[in-house]
Structure 1
Amino acid sequence: IPWAWGINGCASVLSAILATLLAMHVGFSGVVMIAVFLYLVAPALLANRLTIRTIIPFRS
Structure 2
Amino acid sequence: MGDARTELFHYEVRSTYDTPEVADNRRIVEEAQRQDPYSPDDPEDEEPWRPRPTE
TM-score exceeds 0.5: no
TM-score under structure 2 normalisation?
Answer: 0.35
TM-score under structure 1 normalisation?
Answer: 0.32
Bigger Rg, which one: 2
Larger relative contact order (C-alpha < 8 A, sep ≥ 6)? 1
Larger helix percent: 1
